[in-house]
Structure 1
Amino acid sequence: MAKPQRWIFALGLVGLALSRLTSPSLLAVETLKRERVTGAASTAATVGVDYVRAADFAAKFGLKPEPSPDGKKLTLKSPWTEIALEAGSREIAHNGLRIFLGDGVRQQGGHFLISKLDIDKVLVPLLLPGYGLGTQATGAASYGSPPNLKTIVIDPGHGGRDPGKVNAKLGVNEKTMTLDTAQRLARLLEARGYKVLLTRLGDSSLDTDKNTDLRARAHFARAAAADLFISLHYNAVDGSPATLARVRGAEVYTLTPQHQHSSGDPERQDKNGAAVALPGNAYDHWNMIIGHEVHRALVKTVAVADRGLKRARFAVLREVTCPAILVEAGFLSNDEEAHKIMSPEYRQQLAEAIASGVVMYDAALEAVRRRAQH
């Protein structure tokens, strides 16, 4: 049984959610209609993408559009939300946090346009978790039944003959750091009443073949009937000393939705991959919520550099049958950040932030359950 503080968090979120629903603009909220903006796309990459006018979206969610003086940016504001858009960019800022969309924001005929998929898969989950997933009654908001959160599988990246990223100068590797961080996170979550399993308990892999090893981690979670899957990693880049010193920070990944392109594919080259519906895509809505909560906790409580909430079709995310995220908690290639990661105290801070994000995600799920009952 989870400890009482989980319900305190949940009740707080419920109160916030209900206050949102009682505002006049949100009482009138309805299922977002599919809208194709007519006219030639600005680039070949956006051909065939359905867009919604940002102002129309804003009106439905009680947000006020405020354009920048030069007309290249638009901010959607309410007392509790600020979403900053920039024409031509896939990056937005949600309450100051970096989030990467699947399609770039466009301008056409004086209007800012957001892809319909990004509204459904990013903005709606962030503004109203659970909205639009249940049976829709005329004129009423609908809320889907949220997943349970009892069993959590933590995946310490790499292991065995695969060290992951390595900083040879400092004598530190990824596989050791991820295992220690996972063990710390597991203890924190178990103390809150969750059942926690790790995909590996020591310096080992699940299979000698890399691709099989990655897929086996997702299937470990499936066999355990996990309600949440968290894959932990540390990052690195190659390049000049200036590049190694500059690149730092944390990023959180969720599975790229079907018909969209990953954050690492800005030119939309992987058309075959984008066309496929993967098992993990069934949880796109909830993936965004857990991703956002963990991302926010890392940036706000550990003060890591914000590299964004991103999308990728990583092997460990594709075949899970529950909400899932992959966390890149810092750069071992950056000596200053690597020194921090080597510190047990810092790894404890990272684990505590991730655990806090999980608790807030659980509170969001409970808020959805309560809204669905009204």
Structure 2
Amino acid sequence: MSGHVAVLGAGSWGTAFAKILADAGRDVTVWARRAPVAEAMRVHRRNPEYLPELLLPDRVSATGDPVEAITGAELVVLAVPSQTLRGNLAEWVPHLHPDATLVSLMKGIELGTTKRMSEVIVETAGVTGDRVVVVSGPNLAPEIAAEQPAATVVAGTDPGRATLVQTSIRTPYFRPYTNDDVIGCELGGAVKNVIALAYGIATAMGFGDNTRAMLMTRGLAETARLGVALGADPITFAGLAGMGDLVASCSSPLARNRTFGEHLGRGETLEQAQAATRQTAEGVKSCLAIRDLARAHGVEMPITEQIERICHEGMDPRLAVDTLMSRTAKPESYE
């Protein structure tokens, strides 16, 4: 292997992550789906579609050819929309180095299969789970591109590979922590998108801090319930990949799911919100898969259920609020 890193996906997070890798001393090749974007990144050192104000480091190159990016890469970073992963990765597998570490930046659950992204990677690439490392946490790309202090979690079952990724992204402004709870880190990243939609809806409806605090804390509770049912460590949800990511995604106007939720809360349709935001809000699709996953394991996720109804069944957000508030009274902690 050449030791270089491939980043497959030139969205906001993929672009910012390429900068992190380069600032940590790695040579990076970014694959951009659109050839003009790849050319602009290579020639002008800027991504005209995402983070256009960011001047990319000299160690970052770009290409429109995924094979060129992947060939010989020690680390292959997957930064495509979660619902496109399986199809894309199937095309890339023949070009992966037999011992490459596959790094997932994606925060979603696959529709139809209800598989986490690391499970999709294992299944599609035909690799063992220890080859996959997940990066998750409060990682708002514009802030990181501006080198504001941030932290993340690097989760993997192989300590050596997790440490390799940790070392490859450690910079003065970006602090990675390792964790072996892949399930918990992935679920935290996926479910927080759904809760951020709810937070955005509540914000647009004019609800105050009590309501928003309730959504975050009860949203974290239902995330942890699902996580425990799937074998995650409940402590994970108190950390960066749980509470940290949830707080950032709910409270920041930079977070696309929260912003998407605000459009829905103002009475816009799903199509109108999509046209206005022009970015993928992972929670819109993942809420369906998360709902199915919860039902399959007998886990109550009332906020997720209502977001699915708002997004995909046309429920009025005001009715969703009434439904949540009229649920049977329960202890705060229950099985």
TM, length-normalised to structure 2: 0.26
State the structure with bigger RCO (CA 8 A, min sep 6), 1 or 2.
1
Larger radius of gyration between Structure 1 and Structure 2: 1
Structure with the bigger percentage of strand: 1
Structure with the bigger percentage of helix: 2
TM, length-normalised to structure 1: 0.24
